[in-house]
Each structure stands twice: as C-alpha cells, then as structure tokens.
Amino acid sequence: MNLMEALLWSLVGSLASPGVFIPALIVGWMARTPFLALLGGAAIAVALFAYGQLVGVIPAEAEIVWVAVPFMLIPPMIWALAAHFFGRWIRRQAGGDRSHPALRAIEAVIGAIIGMVVGGALGIAAGTLYVEAAQVSSFEGAAGYMVFLGFAVPGVFLGFVAGAVLGWRRRRRRAVA
C-alpha cells in the first residue's frame, strides 16, 4: 500500500471514528465563529495524537510518517465546521426564539452525551474508591464487576438523564417581568 492510499484510508477512518466526530460535533456546535470551530477541531486532533503517543495506542514497532501527520487535522476540523454551520442554520430557522424545540432537542442530546461521559467517569472513580475502601476481592474479577456494573453503568444512566434534562431546560422560555 503506497502512502497516498494509506493516507486516504486513514482520513476515511478518522471521519468515521466516534472518538473524532463526537467531540468535534460538540465543539463545533458551541463555537461562536467558524475560526473557533476550526481551532477546536485542531485542538481535538492534537489531543488525540498526544493521547495515542502517551498511552501507547500506537504499537512500538510502528513508524510515524511525519509528513502525513498534519492531514489528521482535517477530519475533526470538517466535523467541527459542519456542526458550527448546522447550528447556525438551526438558530436562524428558530428566528431568534431561544426556546425553539429544535434547539432544545439538540442541546438535550449534547447534554446527554456529555452527561454520559461525566457520569461514567464519576461512576468509575466512585467505584474504584469503594472497591479500595471496602477491600472487595479481585477473585474472578469481582472488583472489576463491582466497579463496572455497580457504579459505572448507573453513573452513565444518571449522567444521561441529568444531561438531557439540563440541556432541555437550558433554553426554556422565561417569563418576562
């Protein structure tokens, strides 16, 4: 496989990766200008590259082709710009009505996604603290099951509900005094 073919497949894979498009959509939706959406997409690409380097997702025997690395900025920037312009279009369709149902629904979905991530992380942290404090046995993975099933899954569910409710209520119609 030559470099151009590998680069094309890498770009397609990055465009389809939830680890790329979910944060890019969230950042793009929240960006006030197209430049900030591009900047947010670039920050996501840099963070993902740094994560791959630091955590060791990339195999030790793999060789990084540094000429191709800047092309990995493209997928998150595309998703962030798409979300920015879609959000701008939705807001224009709402016609200044901040409590428009489409805006509320989209913000509820974004809130649910963020809530799931935060709830899962807090659930894992709480589960780990509980397993350490209660000295749960690791026999046959009991500690792992306790963390995952006892804390992470309920944390994801509660985060989903709380995030969706907060996202929905964020744009509710307020009474004018």
> Are 142 and 83 part of one and the same domain?
no
Domain range enclosing 107: 97-177
What is the pTM assigned to this prediction?
0.60
* Mean pLDDT of the region 102-111: 84
Which of 96, 129, 145 finishes a domain? 96
Domain tally, the chain: 2
DSSP per-residue letters across 86-111:
HHHHHHHHHTT-TT-HHHHHHHHHHH
Q: pLDDT tens across 31-52, in order?
A: 989 999 999 999 999 998 888 7
Looking at 34-38, 93-97, 159-163, which range is the least confident one? 93-97
- Check the CA dihedral 167-101-154-141 and report its sign: negative
> Are 110 and 86 part of one and the same domain?
no
Per-residue pLDDT, 48? 87
Per-residue pLDDT, 6? 79
> Phi/psi of residue 169, each to 5°?
-75, -15
